Structure 1
Amino acid sequence: MNHRFLSIVGLAAAMAFTGGCSANKAVTDTTTGNGATAEAVAVPTDTVPANTEPVWAPQKHAFNPSRTRKHDLLHTKLRVSFDWEKQYLNGTAELRLKPYFYPQDTLVLDAKGMDIHSVSLMKGDDGSPLKYSYDGRKLAINLNKAYTRTEEYVVEINYTAKPNELEAGGSDAITSDKGLYFINPLGAELNKPMQIWTQGETEANSAWFPTIDSPNERSTQEIYMTVDPKYMTLSNGEFVYSRQNADGTRTDYWKQDLPHAPYLAMMAVGKFAVVKDKWRNKEVNYYVEPEYEGTAKQIFGNTPEMMEFFSTKLGVEYPWAKYSQIVVRDYVSGAMENTSASIFMEALQLNERELLDKNWDGIIAHELFHQWFGDYVTTESWANLPLNEAFANYSEYLWAEHKYGQDEAAYLQMDELSQYLNEAETKREPIIRYHYEDREDMFDSHSYAKGGRVLHMLRNLVGDEAWWASLNRYLTQNKFSDVEIAELRLAFEDVTGRDLMWFFDQWFMQAGHPELKVEDSYQNGQLRLQVTQTQDTAYAPVYRLPLQVAVWAGGKKTVYPIVVDKAEQTFTFNVPTEPELVLFDAEQQLLGVVEHEKSQEELVYQFEHTQQLGPKLEAMMTLEDSLQQPQVLQMYQTALNDDYWRVRSAAINSLSNLKEGQASTVENTIRQMALQDKEGAVRAEAILALAGWNGGKHTPVFEQAMQDSSYLAAAAGILAYAGTGAADTKQRLAAFEEEQNEDIVLALASYYAVQGGPEKYDWFMRQVQDASGSQLYYMLQSFGAYLAGNSQTNTPEVITLLANLAQNSEQYYVRAAAYQALMVMSERAEVQELLQQIRQNEKDERLLQMYGR
């Protein structure tokens, strides 16, 4: 599952408005060499004063083991139909099981929020009633006898699922857990399709069918879906047939012959265009709204190449009968890797012009790699979730490295590190952790971002050939089964012959990360490198870190392998002349924080000679306050011509901090980039930089930018032109009011929030009603500012709209934004009453903390 709920577009918009840009503090990269000697110095372990504890210290929670397997669920057959008006599912579940090992006379199933109509023991087509008890979450069935592990039996349950009547739950990653979702069920929202879809992770599928809802369970599956003939359906496995029914409905039959975990079962119903593709002899289909039929292959079209790349590298052919990808409305996460049928959020649907600025290859690769890591081999418990998610995250790197090159891959790794370190400011837990408060807590940047970076270090440690051979062994030995972290370690040990317990223990089983202080000095032909591990060893280990140091001396690069494994160590290298640069962790693979002070000259040399993204951006970030120095300014001018667009963009962002009179040496170059750079995001950055330097003299550039083929650049042009204060600004911006692109809409909203009068009321209302997800989140922020400046627009209609969003939106962050917008009118008695009602009815702890309750 990919849980990034704020779209790239939304984040880009936020960055555009704040001018934010940063590079990571840690260093990461390696090669080979010789000539290093090391001496270790014993240093006492740091201690923490009594009664003090850092805010990020690992929390003490109860132990969460994998679920005990009393029964083995062999096959699941479902017959379902839907009541759109009530948002109910009417179902019959036929489950074939046997005791796992010990004799059993009782079967307990997960079945959340259902009406249970009957439970029967089946002999062929004949059923005899069984006694049962049901508490609203667990269905306990008294079997007709005690069955042994060699005896199979079949139970049939007739039931009605009522997902909307369940108590709300969720997490940052998966914002709701009711399992089954009816979108616009009555057709009341004119611009939104009617859809039904499911979301099973972690244990939410038991809200729409009775099952043993645990990741260490698996069964084969059949689903018969009865729907209105105007709708398409999708489920796991192969489509077998459709049957027209006497009542005018249609029943679609989907069958999966290979077993998978219950949380991976899925259904989707709606009006979709199905764009057909193929990989080898298997169907690869893309389900999108009809409006996006023409661009579906541009959005998802790299999928067959990804399937070939991963199948070849892993030595395990994509295992399932087909691969479908479907985009749905109001999805409660980024995407989900349901076996052979992944679901994606609506942000993936892009038109031709939007595709100029972005692609979704990362999330597409992520869910595809899950078909091996998560579906083919499944974590036995949520404590071992990184065995699913760390691999899926790392697949984004693998694909970028293969398809787009080292710079793009390195950027993803830097982003992963940044995500983890941001979270580590307030939370540090082992990646594999059996002690947690709620299983949803596992869906964090430890499981995803840190896990992916640790896998990269493991690959670097063993080498590429051993890496792929070990993954092949792991997958082939554990296919269609559940695993824990030890199985992954044993696969690598069996292939490499190495004892890797130390690596898995320090990186997977312990909290925190290395924090290193590095100092270098040169004297009498020797380079002395002192490395101190400064992390708090009351909570983190003293790490063993095999890495490499690159030294440039006399213009020649030499790489020295070292092993840091003491709290403080000094390494010496024979170097003929004083080095121009010492680059610690030359391969830029280390997950950690490295403090290594360098002079201005060293950093400029680093930018010019390392040819690596991380060191380049580190030099640019560190020297940002020295733009007045000729050598530094020249470095940034060089960066404006870098082959990789993110370096050019970062250079513009830094140079935009120059005052108008200081920017003369780069202003013309950036003006040309605003008009001609091949990347829309870079043109957008250049436009905003010009806007900060007496934008009025660049008005012709902004006028041209508003017509740019890139929506990002056009949105920047709108903001820049509005910033000139031109008399015709409102008239020019009004020409964009029918645009639906998120970047354009948010640019207009940013301006209208401050400069729009009562005449923009209808536009704002339309945008808020039509938007969803991240676009709605940002739109509500601008709408709140607009309402604060236009009290005459604070109508009952506005209050009703905001209150409905604050109470009923599936996305908790949208509820928060709507609540904040309502606060603008909090002096009104009816709004105060509504705010109180919202607080009282809210179940999400994150929002309750925000609301002060």
Structure 2
Amino acid sequence: MNHRFLSIVGLAAAMAFTGGCSANKAVIDTTTGNGATAEAVALPADTVPADSVPVWAPKKHAFNPSRTRTQDLLHTKLRVSFNWEKQYLNGIAELTLKPYFYPQDTLVLDAKGMDIHSVSLLKGQNSTPLKYDYDGKKLAINLGKTYTRTEEYTVEIDYTAKPNELEAGGSDAITSDKGLYFINPLGAEPNKPRQIWTQGETEANSAWFPTIDAPNERTTQEIYITVDQKYMTLSNGEFIYSRQNVDGTRTDYWKQDLPHAPYLAMMAIGEYAVVKDKWRDKEVNYYVEPEFKGTAKKIFGNTPEMMEFFSKKLGVVYPWSKYSQIVVRDYVSGAMENTSASIFMEALQLNERELLDKDWDGIIAHELFHQWFGDYVTTESWANLPLNEAFANYSEYLWAEHKVGADEAAYLQMDELSQYLDEAETKREPIIRYHYKDREDMFDSHSYAKGGRVLHMLRKLVGDEAWWASLNRYLTQNKYSDVEVAELRIAFEDVTGMDLMWFFDQWFMQAGHPELKVEDSYQNGQLRLQVTQIQDTAYAPVYRLPLQVAVWAGGKKTVHPIVIDKAQQTFTFNVPTEPQLVLFDAEQQLLGVVNHDKSEAELLFQYKNANQLGPKLEALVSLEEKLQKPEVLQMYQAALKDDYWRVRSAAISSLTNLKAEQAGAVEATIRQMALQDKEGAVRSEAVLALAGWNGEKYKPVFEQAMKDSSYLAAAAGILAYAGTGAADTKQRLAAFEKEKNEDIVLALASYYALQGGPEKYNWFINHIKGASGSELYYLLQSFGAYLASNSQTNTPEAIALLGDFAKNNSAYYVRAAAYQALMVMSDKAEVQQLLEEIRQKEKDERLLQLYGS
């Protein structure tokens, strides 16, 4: 599951419109070394006043074990058809089971919000009715006799699933839990296709078929799906055949012979173009809306190469019979790794021009890697979710490292660290945690971002050969089964011969992260490095940290390995001359916060010599306030020519701190970059920098930018040109009003919010009705500002539209934006009443706090 629901474009738009950005909270230095001596100094234990509990302190919740297995679900056979008008699924489920160990006379199934019509025991062609009790969530079936663990039996359940009648639930990561979704079921929305799709994680598949909905269960599967002739279907496993029915419908038969967890079962139905690809002898297909048939291979086309790369590295060939990827509308998360058939949000569908600015290889690699880590080997409980998600997250790094290069991989690692540290401001829990309030809480930056970074440290600790050999052992020994974190540790210990309990304990089982103060000094041929662990040890351990320190002296680099395992330690190194730079954590692998002060000269040397993304960006950020110094400005000028586009972009971002009269040394270069840089994002950054210095002077550049092939650069051109106040701005911007691209739409919205006038009302309404996710969120923000400046547009239609979003949208952040837009019109009695209704219906604690409820 990938839950990054805010798109890159949307986040860029947010930064452009609000002027905000999120800097990495820790730049971690990295290198390698030898010849260190360590001196430990004992420190008194930290004490925390009883009434001083940090906001991020781990919370006390009940213990959540894995599901006790009384029955073993062996096989699931489903026959399903649909009532689009009522949004019902009509189903017949045949489940084959046997007692797990102890004799059983009762079968308890998860079955949420269904009408149960009958339950029978099947023996050959014979069917015997069974007694049952049903409370709307659990179906308890009296089997009529006691079965032992050697006896299989099959029950048949005739039922109707009514997902829309369930009480709404969900989380940040998966915004709804009703399992089965009808999209535009009545065809009332002219620009939206009719679709049906499912989303099973965590335990929502039991809203559309009776099952044992737990991750430690395994079942083989058959599904017969009856639909109208015009629809395509997709499910797990192999497509076996289609059968034409006398009523004009068609039944598709899908079969999966290898067992998987029930939450990984899926269906998707709609009008799709199926673009066929292949890896070795297996089908690899991409299901997209017909409009995107021509770009499907450019979007998903690296999939076969990824399958080959991961299969070879893991030594475990992709295990399933096929691999399909399908894009659906109004998805409740980013993507989902259903066995052999991953589902993705609609943002993945890109046209040729959009592909110039972005790709989705990260999320595609993430879901593919889950086919091994999550599907082939599955977490036994949601407490162990990082055994699925940390590996999938780390696959994004592995793929970037292989396909794009070290800088892009390093950027992903820095971004992961930033995500985790942002969350750690208010939440610090063990990665593997049995004490949680709700299983959905496991889908956070601990399980994903921190988990991926911890796996990277484990890889660095044991070395690449042992890393891949250990993963092979873990997968082969646990295939088609459920695992807990100890089994991962044991696989690594069996391969390496190392006792890794200390590593798994401090990183997986304990909360928090190391916070280090590093100081270095040089005297009489010796470099003295003092490292102090300053994290609050009432809530986090004193860490054991094997890492490397790189030292440059006389232009020569030496790498020294050290092990930090005390609250305070001093390391000494023989160094012939005063060091030009000491780079702590030379491999840039540590998850934590490092405070290591460096002089201007050291940072300049670091930029030129460290040859790593983290140290380069640290130098650029740290020296922003000294831009007026010639040697510092020279460093930024060099950064403008860096091979990696993110360094060029970061340099431009820092240089915008110069006043217009100070920008002469770089202005011409940035002007050239605005027109000619090979990366659209950099051209965009350069255009906005010029706009900040002298918009009127660079109006021709902005005119050219609006014609740029990159949507990002064109959107920047729109904002920059509008900022000049040119008399023809509205006329020029009107030429973009039919564009559907998110960057363009949001750029126009930011201008129209204050300058649009009543005539732009229909433009806003039409785009809001067609938007979703991050685009809708930002559009609603602009619309609120627009309504405040154009009171004559405060119509009943606008009020009803915003009210519907505020009450019913599955994304809490969209509900919040709609509510805030309504607040603009709170002088109206009907709006006051509507706001009260919204507050009464809302259940999300964050929004209730925002609303003052």
Looking at structure 2, the residues matched to 180 and 722 of structure 1 have their Cα atoms a distance apart, in angstroms, of 45
- Is the contact between residue 97 and residue 152 of structure 2 (CA under 8 Å) also seen in structure 1? yes
Describe the superposition over 1:536-557 as per-residue Cα deviations: whole angstroms up to 9, x where unpaired.
Answer: 0000000000000000000000
Task: Check conservation: 1:239, 1:253, Cα contact below 8 A.
Answer: yes
Aligned residues of 1:65 and 1:381 also touching (Cα < 8 A): yes
What are the equivalent positions in structure 2 for 1:206-217 lying under 5 Å apart? 206-217=206-217
- Spell out, residue by residue over 1:725-775, the C-alpha distance to the aligned partner (whole angstroms, 9 max, x if none): 000000000000001100000000000001110010111111111111111
Structure 2 residue aligned with 1:587: 587
Structure 1 segment 365-514 matched on structure 2, within 5 A: 365-514=365-514
List structure 1 runs of 4+ shifted beyond 3 angstroms. Answer: 18-23, 27-33
Structure 2 counterpart SS, 1:797? helix
Name the structure 2 match of 1:177. 177
* Post-superposition CA distance 1:610-649 (Å, at most 9, x none): 0000010011111111111211111111100000000000
Task: Determine whether 1:110 maps to 2:121.
Answer: no
- Tell me which residue corresponds to 2:353: 353
Do structure 1's residue 610 and structure 2's residue 573 form an aligned pair? no
Instruction: Report the 3-state secondary structure (helix = DSSP H, G, I; strand = E; otherwise coil) of the residue aligned with 2:170.
Output: coil
Unaligned runs of 5+ in 2: none
Do the aligned partners of 1:168 and 1:843 also contact (CA within 8 Å) in 2?
no
| TM-score when normalising by structure 2 | 0.99
* Cα distance in structure 2, aligned partners of 1:49 and 1:270: 60
1:807, 1:239 → 2: CA distance?
Answer: 40
| Matched letter for residue 679 of structure 1 | E
Separation of aligned partners in 1, 2:401 and 2:361? 12
Aligned pairs for 1:35-74 (under 5 A) are: 35-74=35-74
Give me the whole-angstrom Cα distance separating, in 2, the residues matched to 1:727 and 1:355.
33
Letter in 2 for 1:95: L
2:719 maps to what in 1?
719
Give the structure 2 partner of residue 295 of structure 1.
295
CA positional deviation for 1:30: 4.8
- Take 1:89 and 1:391, find their aligned partners in 2: how far apart are those partners? 35
Q: How far off is 1:380 after superposition? A: 0.1
Question: How many residue pairs are counted as aligned between the two chains?
Answer: 853
Q: Tell me what 1:824 maps to.
A: 824
Q: Which amino acid in structure 2 is aligned with residue 774 of structure 1?
A: S
Report if aligned partners of 1:799, 1:822 keep a CA contact under 8 Å in 2.
yes
Aligned-partner Cα distance in 2 for 1:433–1:412: 25
Q: Is the 8 A contact 2:429 2:512 kept in 1?
A: yes
Q: Is the 8 A contact 1:23 1:618 kept in 2?
A: no
SS in 1 for 2:563: strand
2:154 paired with 1:157: no
Contact 1:326 1:344 in 2 (8 A): yes
Instruction: Indicate if the aligned counterparts of 2:25 and 2:421 stay in contact, CA closer than 8 A.
Output: no
| Letter paired with 2:321 | A
Measure how far apart 1:845 and its partner are: 2.9
- State the partner residue of 1:656: 656
Q: Secondary structure at the match of 2:522?
A: strand
Task: Please identify, of 147-156 and 42-51, the stretch whose mean Cα deviation from structure 2 is larger.
Answer: 42-51
- Quote the Cα distance in structure 1 between the aligned partners of 2:408 and 2:746: 27
The answer on whether the counterparts of 2:695 and 2:724 sit within 8 Å (CA) in structure 1 is: yes
Pairs within 5 Å for 1:539-550: 539-550=539-550
* In structure 2, distance between residues paired with 1:254 and 1:177: 24
Letter in 1 for 2:526: Q
Amino acid aligned to 1:827: D
Paired with 2:184 and 2:32, the residues of 1 have a C-alpha distance of: 59
2:276 paired with 1:276: yes
1:600 maps to 2:600:
yes
Write the distance in 1 (CA, Å) between the matches of 2:29 and 2:113. Answer: 52
Is the 1:648–1:682 Cα contact (8 Å) retained in structure 2? yes
Residue aligned with 1:678, SS: coil
- What's 2:766 paired with? 766
Tell me which amino acid in the other structure corresponds to 2:820.
Q
Q: CA deviation at 1:20?
A: 4.2
The amino acid across from 2:313 in the alignment is K
Contact 1:169 1:843 in 2 (8 A): no
Other-structure match for 2:524: 524
Indicate if the aligned counterparts of 2:506 and 2:543 stay in contact, CA closer than 8 A: yes
The alpha carbon displacement at 1:812 in A equals 2.2
1:33 aligns with 2:33: yes
**2:564, 2:25 → 1: CA distance?**
19
Is the Cα contact below 8 Å between 1:25 and 1:618 reproduced in 2?
no
What are the superposed Cα offsets for residues 181-225 of structure 1, whole Å, 9 maximum, x if unpaired?
Answer: 000000000100000000000000000000000000010000000
Name the counterpart of 1:554: 554
Structure 2 CA distance, aligned partners of 1:746 and 1:200?
33
Deviation at 1:847, TM superposition (A): 2.3
- Give 2:639's aligned residue: 639
Moved more, 120-129 or 371-380: 120-129
Superposition pairs for residues 644-723 of structure 1, below 5 Å? 644-723=644-723
Residues in 1 aligned to 2:850 and 2:7: alpha-carbon distance in whole angstroms = 23
SS in 2 for 1:696: coil
Letter in structure 2 aligned against 1:694: N
Alignment of 1:573 with 2:547, yes or no, is no
Secondary structure in structure 2 of the residue aligned to 1:499? coil
My pick for the range that moved more, 630-639 or 527-536, is 630-639
- Alignment partners' CA distance in 2, 1:671 and 1:7: 28
Amino acid paired to 1:625 = E
Quick check: 1:240–1:255 contact (8 Å CA) kept in 2?
yes
Partner of 1:792: 792
SS at match of 2:748: helix
- Tell me the alpha carbon deviations over residues 209-247 of structure 1, each in whole angstroms, 9 at most, x when there is no partner: 000000000100000000011100000000000001011
1:253 partner amino acid: Y
Q: Is the 8 A contact 1:24 1:614 kept in 2?
A: no
Is the partner of 2:696 in helix, strand or coil? Answer: helix
CA distance in 2, matches of 1:636, 1:25: 21
1:160 partner SS:
strand
1:586 and 1:646 map into 2 onto residues whose CA distance is 21
Q: Equivalent residue of 2:643, what SS?
A: coil
TM-score (norm 1): 0.99
Contact persistence 1:715–1:744 (CA under 8 A): yes
Name which of structure 1's ranges 772-781 and 400-409 shifts more when overlaid on structure 2: 772-781
| Equivalent residue number for residue 775 of structure 2 | 775
Q: Percent identity?
A: 86
Per mean C-alpha deviation after superposition, the further-off stretch among 630-639 and 738-747 is 630-639
Asked if the contact 2:31–2:584 (Cα under 8 Å) also holds between the matched residues in 1, the reply is no
In structure 1, distance between residues paired with 2:377 and 2:125: 34
- 3-state SS of the aligned residue for 2:233? strand
CA distance in 1, matches of 2:101, 2:467: 36
SS in 2 for 1:151: coil
Task: Kindly state the Cα deviation for residue 852 of structure 1 after the two structures are TM-superposed.
Answer: 2.1
C-alpha distance in structure 1 between counterparts of 2:178 and 2:33, whole Å: 56
Q: Does the 8 Å CA contact 1:26/1:591 hold for their aligned counterparts? A: no
Tell me, in whole angstroms, the C-alpha distance in 2 between the residues paired with 1:254 and 1:624.
59
Instruction: Please give the alpha-carbon distance, in whole angstroms, between the structure 1 residues aligned to 2:20 and 2:437.
Output: 34
- How far the C-alpha of 1:22 sits from its partner, in A, is 5.2
SS in 1 for 2:614: helix
RMSD: 0.9
Q: Judge conservation of contact 1:551–1:559 (CA < 8 Å) in 2.
A: yes
Q: Which runs of 5+ in 1 are unaligned?
A: none
SS in 2 for 1:697: coil
2:811 aligned partner: 811
